[in-house]
Amino acid sequence: MPPTIAEVQSAAKAIKENVGRVIVGKDRIVELMLVALFCEGHVLLEDVPGIGKTTLAKALARSLGCDFSRIQFTPDLLPTDITGVSIFSQKSSEFEYRPGPIISQIVLADEINRAGPRTQSALLEAMQEQQVTVDGVTRPLPRPFLVMATQNPIELEGTFPLPEAQVDRFLMRLALGYPDVEEERTILRRFREADPMAELAPVVSGQQVLELGNRCRQVRVTPAIEGYMIAVVQASRNNEALALGSSPRGTISLYRTAQAFAAIHGRDYVQPDDVQYLIHPVLAHRLILSPESRLRGHTAGEVLTEILDRIPVPVEESWSVQDRE
């Protein structure tokens, strides 16, 4: 029997509480990570070192009982260091495939922009197709599959900017940010005697995540909400402040994340607030500012906010439906 919306909400709450035993004060980020997980999308984390990006990925993997691997991207990293390689075995007189770290369920691609374009492209197939090809043989990746890539927005020396095609394949771009005074005090006390990560146990299985994700895709999106999403995306393509607006992949991403976000909050329908909440993490990294906007110090987030202010919000009668469960 497929899970209900109530079960999606309950599972999301259990995962958030479990991860919250390690990650302090980042409920919004954890919630958006769950949205990405249920959508089987990938997340780009842009933040300075030491914020807890690796800890977040590990805590999420342990809460799901999923395999976790970490890839440290460096200039000398080769594509085969990610995908794996076929090695000739003298014992069997055949080539045997040695899996790379990408053959995992939760993958942390640390400082992804430090590797060269060839190596970055090796990750591209895995992210989009959920498969890797080595020596002409295509191998599927385990599911659920989530790439959590990080890059340092401050230290740019010796880095290779991600091509737009790869940036567009990330479902969301997020930033954890520094903790406030009380959150940092809580972190010190929590890690004073032992690492709480060691005590984390799975609360949901990987198979359950797939089933919950399938249920999220059944969340109702009315024509009025669809029109609202399309109007925002179309406005980004016709905005003088932008050299490049959102792609159709961005529209699809906004649609699917809104469904998952509504389900996590116990609703079987999407409302305008869901779309507005997700606009910036889902669309901002897909936009390219015009040279004039860059010179004026504008950001993609500011442009999106202006777009939202101009587009009429659908009236409640056009999207409100009764929860059917």
The CATH architecture one would assign to domain 5-211 is: 3-Layer(aba) Sandwich (3.40)
pLDDT at position 177: 85
What is the rounded CA–CA span in Å between residue 218 and residue 220? 6
The tens digit of pLDDT for each residue in 76-121 reads: 888 889 998 888 777 777 888 888 899 999 999 998 888 888 888 7
Opening angle at CA 186, ends 185 and 188, nearest 5: 65
Q: What is the pTM of this model?
A: 0.90
Q: What is the DSSP annotation of 58-92? A: HHHHHHHT--EEEEE--TT--THHHHEEEEEETTT
**In the structure encoding, which two tokens stand for residue 185, read together?**
């005090």
Q: Give the domain ranges of the chain.
A: 5-211, 219-318
**Which fold is adopted by the domain 219-318?**
Helicase, Ruva Protein; domain 3 (1.10.8)
The tens digit of pLDDT for each residue in 8-51 reads: 999 999 999 999 989 888 899 999 999 999 999 999 998 888 88
The tens digit of pLDDT for each residue in 291-325 reads: 988 888 889 999 999 999 999 998 776 666 644 44
Closest CA to 286 of 231, 255, 243, 256: 243
**In the structure encoding, which two tokens stand for residue 131, read together?**
């498969």
What is the rounded CA–CA span in Å between residue 254 and residue 172? 9
Q: Which residue has the higher pLDDT, 273 or 134?
A: 273
For residue 149, give the H/E element and its range.
strand 146-151
Comparing 5-211 with 219-318, is the CATH topology the same? no
Q: Under a CB-based contact definition with an 8 Å cutoff, are residues 15 and 197 in contact?
A: no
Rounded to the nearest angstrom, the gap between the alpha carbon of residue 56 and the centroid of all alpha carbons in its chain is: 12
Beta bridge partner(s), residue 120: none
